Amino acid sequence: MRVERILAPNPGPFTGPGTNTYLLEVDGEVAVIDPGPVDAGHRRAIVDALGDRRAAAVVVTHTHPDHAPLANPLARELGCPAFGYAPGPEFDPDVVLADGSTVRVGAGELEAVHTPGHADDHLCLRLGDVLFTGDHIMGGSSVMVDDVAAYLRSLERLRGMELRRLYPGHGPEIDRPREVISWYLAHRRQREQEILAAVESGARTVGQVVEVVYADVDRALWPLAARSVCAHLRKLAADGRVRFGGGGDGDWDAAVSPAAP
Ligand SMILES: [Zn+2]
């Protein structure tokens, strides 16, 4: 097995240095994982890196715009199917992968592990003790989460696997998977405690919670933080620990209050 990384030219606040496109080679056959955005130069870089090896599959971890849009056109060019959990805004899988489905690459079997949380349609992809984590786990930063309860369950599931290395959708590879997964779990639980404490000490809107919990974070990231706070508040409300009507995702003015005693 061999893994090559090709960095897409889309750096930014959501994408770090850019999206990692991976070429996973087994026995001379290659799976392209997360081809990224539609970009002629990036597409050329992927095709050049493939050389005369056979492409067995194009696989996407989830349908966000920095991961999936190039998948269908690239799969057509390479003459192989595009695989993913579900259709998305700019992606339509030729083959749908359910949890536990596999993609054959040479003699290897790349296994789909459904990991909702960052996105409902998110897959991690496992080959032996190596896991491609998409945006479920990123190299060196915390992750934008839409469904906190699902995200924590998905992390717990990954923590139970025997893994040697993680290849994230952004940032560098990770060689101590269990430590890093435990950090992510602890980080989420700490955020939850901080958000609950902010509500209990008087924050009454999503914006007020953000101002307390993310006081030391660049204000440019506060709209993003508001989405994360809403996700946490939905979970806390489901757990009966706060009252939260919801409001649109990341709604700054959405009201929150402590649960009735
Ligand atoms: Zn994403």
- How many A from CA of 27 to the centre of ligand 1? 30
Structure tokens at 202: 């008087």
Asked whether residue 140 carries a pLDDT value surpassing 80, the answer given is: no
pLDDT: which is higher, 101 or 245: 101
Asked whether residue 122 carries a pLDDT value surpassing 70, the answer given is: yes
- How many A from CA of 148 to the centre of ligand 1? 15
- How many A from CA of 14 to the centre of ligand 1? 8
- How many A from CA of 68 to the centre of ligand 1? 10
pLDDT, residue 68, reads 98
* Letter string b/e over residues 132-146, b meaning 16 or more CB atoms within 10 A of that residue's CB: bbbbbbbbeeebbbb
- How many A from CA of 118 to the centre of ligand 1? 7
Kindly report the pTM of this predicted structure.
Answer: 0.93
5 has which bridge partners?
22
pLDDT, residue 224, reads 87
The ranges assigned to domains in the chain are: 2-175, 185-258
- How many A from CA of 136 to the centre of ligand 1? 8
pLDDT-based confidence at 107, cuts 50/70/90?
very high
Report the top-level CATH class of 185-258.
mainly alpha
| CA distances in angstroms from 113 to 66, 98, 122, 130, 133, listed in the order given | 20, 8, 9, 12, 10
For residues 19 and 34, give the distance between their C-alpha atoms in angstroms, rounded to a whole number: 8
- How many A from CA of 61 to the centre of ligand 1? 9
- How many A from CA of 213 to the centre of ligand 1? 23
Q: Tens of pLDDT along 13-60? A: 778 899 999 999 999 999 999 999 999 999 999 999 999 999 999 999
- How many A from CA of 134 to the centre of ligand 1? 7
Tell me which of 108-112, 153-157, 170-174, 218-222 is least confident.
218-222
- How many A from CA of 257 to the centre of ligand 1? 30
Q: Tens of pLDDT along 213-261? A: 999 998 988 998 999 999 999 999 999 999 998 766 789 999 999 997 7
pLDDT, residue 12, reads 85
> Residue range 67-90: average pLDDT?
97
pLDDT-based confidence at 144, cuts 50/70/90?
confident
Asked whether the beta carbons of 144 and 224 are under 8 A apart, the reply is yes
- How many A from CA of 119 to the centre of ligand 1? 7
| CA distances in angstroms from 141 to 148, 168, 169, listed in the order given | 16, 11, 11
- How many A from CA of 16 to the centre of ligand 1? 12
> Residue range 50-75: average pLDDT?
97
Which residue, chain included where needed, has tokens 């779990």?
Answer: 185
- How many A from CA of 164 to the centre of ligand 1? 23
Q: What percent of the chain has pLDDT over 90?
A: 89
- Which fold would CATH assign to domain 2-175? Metallo-beta-lactamase; Chain A (3.60.15)
Asked whether residue 161 carries a pLDDT value surpassing 70, the answer given is: yes
pLDDT, residue 160, reads 95
- How many A from CA of 64 to the centre of ligand 1? 5
